[in-house]
Amino acid sequence: MSVKKLNTNDLLLADFQKGNQQAFRTLFELFWEPMFVNAKSIVRNADIAKDSVQNIWVDIWEKREHMEIRKIEPYIFRADVRARATDSNTN
């Protein structure tokens, strides 16, 4: 990953944590598809994968002011793994 990409993601994360909806939208657009592909490869169900990823983003937005996220990419992919495990066990 390039230094420029890391810096951009860090700036977007900082803006998002301050409530900037456009920064949130940009992060969502950058990471939604890779998260979906990753989730779908594990749960093997597109609907469950979409729901899991959507729930992660809703949760992130709702808890943004209280979350201590240093790097967005590792955080969301760990969240993705936890959500998939929960969804897989409940279905």
pLDDT at 66: 83
DSSP 36-89: HHHHHHHH--HHHHHHHHHHHHHHHHHTTTT---S-HHHHHHHHHHHHHHHHHH
Q: Taken in order 68, 52, 43, 6, is the CA torsion positive or negative?
A: negative
Token couple for 63: 């808890």
Predicted local distance difference test score (pLDDT) of residue 31: 92
Sign of the alpha-carbon dihedral angle for 3, 29, 15, 73: negative
Residues 36 and 77: beta-carbon distance below 8 Å: no
- Please report the DSSP string for 4-44 in residue order: HHHHHHHHHHHHHHTT-HHHHHHHHHHHHHHHHHHHHHHH-
How do the pLDDT tens digits run along the chain, 91 residues long? 445 555 788 889 889 888 899 999 999 999 999 999 988 888 888 998 899 899 888 988 888 888 788 888 888 877 766 665 555 555 5
